[in-house]
Amino acid sequence: MLIVHLISVMCLVSQYSHEDINREMEEICILKSQSERAFRLTSLMNDHWFLEDYIEHISNTFGYELFVILLDIYIQLLLCVYMCVWDYIVRSTNQDVYSVVSLLLHICIVSGNLFYLCYRCNATVKESRQVISKLHHLRDVLNNDSICQALLKVFTLRVNCREVHLTVLKLFNINLPLLLCSAGVVFTYFLVLIQFQIDGYKEILKEQNISDVTNTQCKSWPCVKKE
């Protein structure tokens, strides 16, 4: 959890820095001095390149930690959902309210950490992509300034040659679409666990001379009928 919040804070810093760059690029249009515009544009180009290095450094530094954290989150969510569905709903195991509430709270905390991490990374990448639109706007506004036009071309090439992404060991990106993929992974392995559990439950019923699950209507699953 500490690493997740640390990476989220670093992404938040990067997001605010990109917002400052975008805001200053809008202010360049107001400047009257050609030399000052060129100086500000050069400074912003260097700052943006530094931010791209900063984001890449985050991915390279915490790649293994993020992989282990995401794997741990998947396992925790899988086991918690399995316990909720199989023990509390299917088998209707008598449990005290405290255990049920604690399990649901644990699911909310784990899911919240995953959502917050994906949201922060996605917001950083989204804000960084606003730079290219600001560059196109400046090229249209400063069409009479040959020096700024040359700098804008270089700036645009440097932005297009590097894609800003927060990756996990360069295997996949951390963003909001990752939440859907994570839900699919947890649900898939949940079905596998349920299938194994059903097969084992049927074997136990056979050993106890109880018939297999019937197709008759019943109030709770699995429907069993004694011979």
pLDDT digits (tens, 9 = 90+) for 172-222: 889 889 888 888 888 888 888 777 776 666 666 566 654 444 445 555 555
How many Å from the N-terminal Cα to the C-terminal Cα in the chain?
A: 52
Is 89 a residue whose pLDDT tops 80?
no
Q: How many CB atoms lie within 10 A of CB 141?
A: 13
Task: Output 44 or 32, whichever has higher pLDDT.
Answer: 44
pTM: 0.75
pLDDT in tens, 42-84: 998 999 889 889 988 988 888 888 899 888 888 888 888 887 7
Other Cβ atoms less than 10 A from the Cβ of 125: the count is 22
Evaluate if residue 127 carries a pLDDT over 80.
yes
- As a whole number, mean pLDDT of residues 116-131 equals 89
CA distance linking residue 167 with residue 136, whole number of Å = 28
State the pLDDT at residue 96.
Answer: 67
Q: Say if CB 80 and CB 110 are below 8 A apart.
A: yes
Q: What is the pLDDT of residue 210?
A: 46
pLDDT in tens, 131-162: 888 888 888 888 888 888 888 899 888 888 88
Residue ranges of the domains in the chain? 2-176
Q: According to the model, what pLDDT value does residue 226 have?
A: 47
CA dihedral 81, 87, 90, 95 (to 10 degrees): -120
Give Cα 19 distance to the centre of its chain. 21
pLDDT of residue 206: 65
Quick one: pLDDT band at residue 119, thresholds 50, 70, 90? very high
Beta-sheet strands, E only, within 34-171: 167-168
